[in-house]
Amino acid sequence: PDDWDENDPRMVAAPEAKMPEGWLEDEPPMIADVNAVRPEDWDDEEEGTWTPPLIQNPKCGVGCGPWTAPLVANSKYKGPWAPRLIKNPKYIGEWKPRKVQNPEHYTVENPRLLKFSAVGFELWVMDANIRFDNVLVCTDEGEAGEIALRTWKVKTLREAEAEQQQSTPTGTKLENLGRTIDDYMSRIHRNVAYILINNGYGNVVSALQSTGVPHPFAIILLLLCFSPLFASAAYQLYMSYKQQPEDDVATTLENTTADTADPDAAEGKKDDAETKDDPAPNEPAGEESEIVPEKEDSGIRQRRVAS
Kindly state whether residues 199 and 258 are assigned to the same domain: yes
Query: Does residue 141 lie within any of the structural domains?
Result: yes
Task: Among 61-70, 93-102, 190-199, 237-246, name the one with the lowest average pLDDT.
Answer: 237-246
The residue from 137, 170, 203 where one domain ends is 170
Kindly state whether residues 178 and 259 are assigned to the same domain: yes
Query: Does residue 291 lie within any of the structural domains?
Result: no
Q: Which residue has the higher pLDDT, 238 or 279?
A: 238
Q: Which residue has the higher pLDDT, 24 or 171?
A: 24
Kindly state whether residues 162 and 227 are assigned to the same domain: no
Question: Given its phi and psi angles, is residue 134 left (phi above 0), alpha (psi -120 to 50 degrees) or beta?
Answer: left
Kindly state whether residues 155 and 179 are assigned to the same domain: no
pLDDT, residue 300, reads: 44
pLDDT in tens, 208-257: 777 766 767 667 766 677 667 767 777 676 666 566 555 554 555 555 55
Kindly state whether residues 137 and 217 are assigned to the same domain: no
Give me the mean pLDDT over the 289-303 stretch: 46
Percent of the chain scored above 90 by pLDDT? Answer: 9
Which pLDDT band holds residue 303 (cuts at 50, 70, 90)? very low
Scanning 110-245, the segments in alpha helix (DSSP H) are 141-150, 152-167, 173-198, 202-209, 216-242
Structurally, the chain folds into a number of domains equal to: 2
Kindly state whether residues 219 and 232 are assigned to the same domain: yes
What length is written for the chain? 307
Kindly state whether residues 190 and 254 are assigned to the same domain: yes
- State the pTM of this model: 0.25
Which pLDDT band holds residue 169 (cuts at 50, 70, 90)? low
CB 32 within 8 A of CB 51: yes
Residue 209's domain spans which residues? Answer: 174-268
pLDDT, residue 287, reads: 45
The residue from 151, 170, 189 where one domain ends is 170
Is residue 295 scored above 50 in pLDDT?
no
Round to whole Å and give the CA distance between 189 and 197: 12
Query: Does residue 27 lie within any of the structural domains?
Result: no
pLDDT, residue 98, reads: 94
Round to whole Å and give the CA distance between 209 and 223: 18
Give me the mean pLDDT over the 110-114 stretch: 84
Query: Does residue 140 lie within any of the structural domains?
Result: yes
Query: Does residue 66 lie within any of the structural domains?
Result: no
Is residue 263 scored above 80 in pLDDT?
no
Q: Which residue has the higher pLDDT, 6 or 88?
A: 88
Which pLDDT band holds residue 260 (cuts at 50, 70, 90)? very low
Kindly state whether residues 135 and 152 are assigned to the same domain: yes
Average pLDDT, the chain: 75
CB 78 within 8 A of CB 4: yes
Kindly state whether residues 158 and 225 are assigned to the same domain: no
Give me the mean pLDDT over the 171-183 stretch: 72
Is residue 38 scored above 60 in pLDDT?
yes
Q: Which residue has the higher pLDDT, 281 or 207?
A: 207
Query: Does residue 72 lie within any of the structural domains?
Result: no
Query: Does residue 86 lie within any of the structural domains?
Result: no
Round to whole Å and give the CA distance between 81 and 3: 11
Three-class SS of residue 115? coil
Kindly state whether residues 214 and 251 are assigned to the same domain: yes
pLDDT, residue 96, reads: 94
Query: Does residue 69 lie within any of the structural domains?
Result: no
The residue from 170, 201, 230 where one domain ends is 170
pLDDT in tens, 85-109: 999 999 999 999 999 999 999 998 8
Round to whole Å and give the CA distance between 28 and 262: 135
Round to whole Å and give the CA distance between 290 and 283: 12
Round to whole Å and give the CA distance between 67 and 29: 12
pLDDT, residue 5, reads: 84
Kindly state whether residues 141 and 182 are assigned to the same domain: no
Kindly state whether residues 152 and 217 are assigned to the same domain: no
